[in-house]
Structure 1
Amino acid sequence: MTATAATDTSAVTAGTLVVRKVPVSRGYRFELVKLLSQWRVRVLIIACWLAPAAFVAIISQQASLPVDTLFGRMMHATGWAGPLVLLGFSGSWALPLLTSLVAGDVFASEDRLGTWRHLLVAVRSPRRIFVSKALASLSIILVLVIGLVVSSTVSGLLVVGNRELIGLDGHLLSPGHAAGAVLLAWLCALAPTLALAAIGLLGSVALGRSPMGLLLPAVVALAMQIVQQLPVPVAFRLALPGYAFISWNGLFTSPAQRGPLLIGVAVSLVWTIVATGLAYFLFVRRDFTNPTNDGSGRRALTAGLLPLVGLLVVSTAVIAPVSGVGSGIDQDKVQKAVATEFAHLYRLQTKQLNRADVTEEQLQSAAECTKGGDQVAAKGPGNDWRCVISWHIPGVEVAGSAIYQLDINPLGRYVSDGDGPKEVNGFFLVRTPSGDEPNPLWQFDGNIELLPAK
Structure 2
Amino acid sequence: MTATIAAGPAVGPAAAARRVSVTRGYRFELVKLVSQWRIRLLVLACWIAPALFVAAVSRQSTLPVDTLFGRWMHATGWAGPLVMLGFAGTWALPLLTSLVAGDVFASEDRLGTWRHLLVAVRSPRRIFAAKALGSLTVILLLVAGLVCSSAVGGVVAVGDQPLVGLDGHLLTPGDAAGKVLLAWACALAPTLALAGIGLLGSVLLGRSPMGLLLPALVALGMQVAQMMPLPVAVRLALPGYAFISWNGLFTGPAQLGPLLIGIVGSLVWAVTATALAYVLFLRRDFTDLSYEGSARRAVTAGVLPLIGLMAAGVAVVAAATGATGSGIEQDKVQRSLATEFAHLYRMQTEQLNRPAVTEAQLKSTATCTKGSVRVAAEGPGNDWRCVVSWHLPGVEAAGTAIYQLDVTADGRFVADGDGPKEVNGYFLVRTPAGDAPNPLWQFDGNVELLPTPKG
Q: Which TM-score applies when normalising by structure 2? A: 0.97
Q: Deviations over 1:216-241 (max 9, x none)?
A: 00000000000000000001001110
Structure 1 residue aligned with 2:52: 54
Structure 2 residue aligned with 1:284: 282
Q: Is the 8 A contact 2:105 2:202 kept in 1?
A: yes
Does 1:162 find its partner at 2:147? no
Aligned CA distance change for structure 1 residues 405 and 135 (closer, same or farther; 3 Å): same
Q: Report how far residue 301 of structure 1 moved.
A: 1.1
Q: Report how far residue 299 of structure 1 moved.
A: 1.4
Cα distance between partner residues in 1 of 2:87 and 2:434: 33
Cα distance between partner residues in 1 of 2:200 and 2:122: 22
Aligned CA distance change for structure 1 residues 148 and 166 (closer, same or farther; 3 Å): same
Q: What is the one-letter code of the residue matched to 2:399?
A: G
In structure 1, stretches of 5+ residues that fail to align are none
Aligned CA distance change for structure 1 residues 294 and 283 (closer, same or farther; 3 Å): farther
In structure 2, stretches of 5+ residues that fail to align are none
Structure 2 residue aligned with 1:360: 359
* 1:111-190 matched pairs, under 5 angstroms: 111-190=109-188
Q: 2:26 aligns with which of 11, 25, 28?
A: 28
Q: Deviations over 1:234-265 (max 9, x none)?
A: 01001110000000000000000000000000
Structure 2 residue aligned with 1:409: 408
Q: Is the 8 A contact 1:99 1:193 kept in 2?
A: yes
Q: Is the 8 A contact 1:354 1:432 kept in 2?
A: no
Structure 2 residue aligned with 1:245: 243
Does 1:372 find its partner at 2:371? yes
* 1:68-147 matched pairs, under 5 angstroms: 68-147=66-145
Does 1:218 find its partner at 2:210? no
Structure 2 residue aligned with 1:393: 392
Q: Report how far residue 373 of structure 1 moved.
A: 3.0
Structure 2 residue aligned with 1:347: 346
Cα distance between partner residues in 2 of 1:17 and 1:386: 79
Aligned CA distance change for structure 1 residues 269 and 435 (closer, same or farther; 3 Å): closer
Equivalent position SS for 1:18:
helix
Structure 1 residue aligned with 2:15: 18
Percent of pairs identical after alignment?
72
Q: Report how far residue 12 of structure 1 moved.
A: 5.0
Root-mean-square deviation over aligned CA pairs: 1.4
Cα distance between partner residues in 1 of 2:168 and 2:442: 11
Equivalent position SS for 2:361:
helix
Aligned CA distance change for structure 1 residues 17 and 72 (closer, same or farther; 3 Å): closer
Cα distance between partner residues in 2 of 1:98 and 1:432: 39
Q: 1:231 aligns with which of 229, 232, 252?
A: 229
Does 1:8 find its partner at 2:7? yes
Aligned residue pairs total 451
Q: Report how far residue 428 of structure 1 moved.
A: 3.8
Q: What is the one-letter code of the residue matched to 2:417?
A: G
Cα distance between partner residues in 2 of 1:373 and 1:62: 39
Structure 1 residue aligned with 2:325: 326
Cα distance between partner residues in 2 of 1:254 and 1:401: 24
* 1:310-325 matched pairs, under 5 angstroms: 310-321=308-319, 322-325=321-324
Q: Report how far residue 300 of structure 1 moved.
A: 1.4
Cα distance between partner residues in 2 of 1:434 and 1:41: 39
Cα distance between partner residues in 2 of 1:27 and 1:377: 61
Q: 1:263 aligns with which of 261, 264, 269?
A: 261
Q: Report how far residue 434 of structure 1 moved.
A: 11
Q: Deviations over 1:367-423 (max 9, x none)?
A: 000000324110000000000001000101111110000000000000000000010
Aligned CA distance change for structure 1 residues 138 and 303 (closer, same or farther; 3 Å): same
Q: Which TM-score applies when normalising by structure 1? A: 0.97
Q: Report how far residue 294 of structure 1 moved.
A: 4.0
Equivalent position SS for 1:117:
helix
Structure 1 residue aligned with 2:422: 423
Equivalent position SS for 1:254:
coil
Aligned CA distance change for structure 1 residues 399 and 146 (closer, same or farther; 3 Å): same
Q: Report how far residue 437 of structure 1 moved.
A: 3.3
Cα distance between partner residues in 2 of 1:3 and 1:331: 62
Equivalent position SS for 2:15:
coil
Q: What is the one-letter code of the residue matched to 1:287?
A: D
Equivalent position SS for 2:387:
strand
